[in-house]
Amino acid sequence: MNRTEWSRAERMALTPERLTEMYSWMITIRHFDRRAVQLQRSGRLGTYAPLEGQEAAQVGCGVALEKGDWLFPTYREHGVSMVHGLPLATILLYWNGRPEGCIPPPNVNIFPIAVPIATQLPHAVGAAWASKLRGEDAVTVGFLGDGATSEGDFHEAMNFAGVFKLPVIFFCQNNGYAISVPLHKQTATETLAEKATAYGMEGVRVDGNDLLAVYRAVKAAADKARSGKGPTLIEAVTYRYGSHTTADDHTRYRTEEEVEAWRAKDPIERLKQTLQEHGIWTEELEAELWKKADEQVQTAIDEMLAAPPVDPDRLFDHAYATLPAHLQAQRAEMRALYRSEGGV
What average pLDDT does range 300-307 have in this prediction?
96
pLDDT at 203 over 50: yes
Residue range 42-75, pLDDT digits in tens:
999 999 999 999 999 999 999 999 999 999 999 9
Cα–Cα distance for residue pair 321/100, rounded to 1 Å: 20
The three-class DSSP label of residue 48 is coil
For the chain, what is the mean pLDDT?
94
Query: How much is the pLDDT for 1?
Result: 41
Beta-carbon count within 10 A of 106 CB: 5
C-alpha R_g of the chain: 21
Give the model's confidence band at 310: pLDDT under 50 very low, under 70 low, under 90 confident, else very high.
Answer: confident
The three-class DSSP label of residue 231 is coil
Give the model's confidence band at 7: pLDDT under 50 very low, under 70 low, under 90 confident, else very high.
Answer: low
Q: What is the CATH number of domain 3-309?
A: 3.40.50.970
The residues carrying an active-site annotation are 240, 244, 253
Residue range 144-189, pLDDT digits in tens:
999 999 999 999 999 999 999 999 999 999 999 999 999 999 999 9
Domain ranges of the chain: 3-309, 311-344
pLDDT at 259 over 70: yes
Phi, psi of 182 (to 5 degrees): -70, 160
HSE, CB side, 13 Å, CA atoms: give it for residue 274: 25
pLDDT at 344 over 60: no
